[in-house]
Amino acid sequence: MRSCDEDMVFPAGFAWGAATAAYQIEGGWDADGKGPSIWDTFCHAKGKVFQDHTGDVACDSYRLWDEDLKCIQQLGLTHYRLSLSWSRLLPDGTTRHVNQKGVDYYNRVIDDLLASNVCPMVTLYHFDLPQALQDRGGWQWPEITKVFDSYAQFCFQTFGDRVKLWLTINEPYVCAKLGHEDGLHAPGHGDLGVSVYLVGHNMLRAHARAWHSYDTLFRPTQGGQLSLALFTDWAEPWDPSNPLDVAASERYMTFSLDWFAWPIFVSGDYPPEMKARVEANSRTQGLPFSRLPQFSEDEPSIKGTADFFAVNYYTSRKVRPGPTPPKSLGFEGDQQAVGEMDPSWPVCGISWLAVYPEGLRKLLKYIKDTFGNPSIYITENGLSQVGAVELDDSQRCSFFHATWMEVSKAICEDGVDLKGYFVWSLMDNFEWSDGFGVRFGLFHVDFSHPERPRTLYRSGTDYAQLIAKFKGRSGTEH
C-alpha cells in the first residue's frame, strides 16, 4: 500500500515526527523535587560548555509544554519523540523515592499528545544520568544495569498503558565516546581506551535487561515495541579503488554502528574485527586482558533485544587508514581509521556537520543488508544554523528536500522497510557543549525572552506541507 507523489513515495502509516530530549528543552532543573543530573553538574562547572551556557531554563518546556504542543499540532506531526528526565522522576535514580510532580508532568504530556492524535515515542535515557548514580560510578558501575532496569520497569508500569514506542538509550556511542573518552560531554572523563568500552558494554547490558523485562512483564498486556537509538556517520573510502581505504571505511562503521548493532541484531557479541583489534592492542600495551569487556553467559542475552532499528543520521565521512597506534592510544588507535569531510560537501558552520543527504540512503541500505532487513525508524536527522539566524532558512530547506528525496529512494528503489522519520529537532534548544550557539529547530526559540517564544522557520513550513501531503494520501494509521 503506497502513496506516490511525482517524485517521492512513502508507505501508508509512515511516522512523521520531530524529536527533543529532556535536558535540552525542559529547564526547571531543580523544580518541584527534581534531582540533579550529570548535565546539571557539568554545566554548572565553568569552562565546559560554550560561553558557560546551561540547560537550567533552556526552552522552559517544563513550564511551557502547552507551547510545545501547539508547535507539534502546527506541523501536523503524527509522532513526537521525547525523553524522560530520569532524575525528575526518580531524584536519586532509584525507585526508593518517586517524584510525583515529575510523573504528573509526563502524564500530561503523553495524554495531551494522544488527545491530539500524536503518537509518543519515548526515550528513557538521553545523556542525563542522575548525579546520585554518577556518584556511585555511573555507567562504569556494573550494578547500573539493574538500577536502569528498575527505572525502565517503573516507566513501563507508569506510562506503558499509553506509550507503545520505547527507546531505552539514546546513542550509547556518543555517551561512551564523548562522555568518557573525549571528555566533551558529561561526565567529562577522558581515560583513553578503557572507560569508553566499559560504558558501552554496560549500556548494552542495561538495554538488554530492560528489553527482556518489557518482553516478559509488559508486552503481553501493553503490546508496544522497544529498541535503542544508534548514532553513526556514514563512512565511505576516500579512494574506492584503494583496498586500504575500503578496509578503513569498514572499520569506521565497525567501531561506530556495528559496535552496538552487531551484538543486538547479529551475534550477541561484538564484531569479530573489533574484538581482535582491541585485544591485540591491549596485549601490545602489556595488559593481561582486552580493554573490550566480554559478555557473560549468566546474564540476559543481548541478541534479539530490539523490535526495530532506530538510527540517528547527520553526516558522512571519507575515510582512510589512521596511523599505527603508539602504545598509549585509545579508541582511535584501535579503530585506526581517519574520517574527514569531502571538500565538495557544503558545511553549515558546525565543525562536524557537512551536508551529504546521499549518505543517509547508503546508510539505510547498509542497515538493511547487514542487519537482516529490519524495520527502521530514522529517529534523528537535521541540519543546524550557527551565528546569524535566518527564519527564511534556505540552506536547511534545500537540505531537507534533498534528504526526503533520498529517504524516498531508499524506500522505493532499495526496498528499505522504513517506518518513520523524525527531524532533530522540534525547536532550537540546548545543543550540549555548543550551548545555544547552534540551532537545529523547526521552530526558532528566542532565548533572550522570558517567555521563550517559538516561531516557525521556513523549513518547518516545508515539513508541515510534506506531512500534510503524505499523511492525507496514505491514510496514516498509528
Site residues for ligand BGC per CB under 6 A = 21, 24, 170-171, 174, 231, 312, 380, 424, 431, 440
Mode of pairing for the β-strands spanning 443-445 and 454-456: antiparallel
Q: How far is the CB of 143 from ligand BGC (least distance, A)?
A: 26
Q: Which of 345, 442, 447 is nearest to 400 (CA)?
A: 442
Do 251 and 273 contact (CB within 8 A), yes or no? yes
The beta-carbon contacts of 344-349 under 8 Å, at least 24 apart in sequence, are: 345/316, 346/395, 348/383, 348/384, 348/385, 348/386, 348/395, 348/396, 348/399, 349/384, 349/385, 349/386, 349/387, 349/438
Q: Is 299 a catalytic residue?
A: no
In a 13 Å sphere around the CA of 210, the CA atoms on its Cβ side amount to: 32
> Cβ closer to ligand BGC: 430 or 470?
430
> Cβ closer to ligand BGC: 24 or 85?
24
> Cβ closer to ligand BGC: 411 or 427?
427
Q: How far is the CB of 24 from ligand BGC (least distance, A)?
A: 6
Compute how many other C-beta atoms are within 10 angstroms of the C-beta atom of residue 162: 16
Query: 380, 390, 406, 477: which is the annotated catalytic residue?
Result: 380
Q: How far is the CB of 166 from ligand BGC (least distance, A)?
A: 16
> Cβ closer to ligand BGC: 259 or 470?
259
DSSP for 176-213, written as a single string: HHHHHTS--STT----TTTHHHHHHHHHHHHHHHHHHH
Q: Which of 168, 223, 209 is nearest to 379 (CA)?
A: 168
Which of the 8 DSSP states describes residue 127?
S
> Cβ closer to ligand BGC: 69 or 174?
174
Q: How far is the CB of 225 from ligand BGC (least distance, A)?
A: 20
Q: How far is the CB of 425 from ligand BGC (least distance, A)?
A: 7
Tell me the residue nearest to ligand BGC as measured from the CB.
21
Mode of pairing for the β-strands spanning 337-340 and 316-321: antiparallel
Catalytic residues: 380
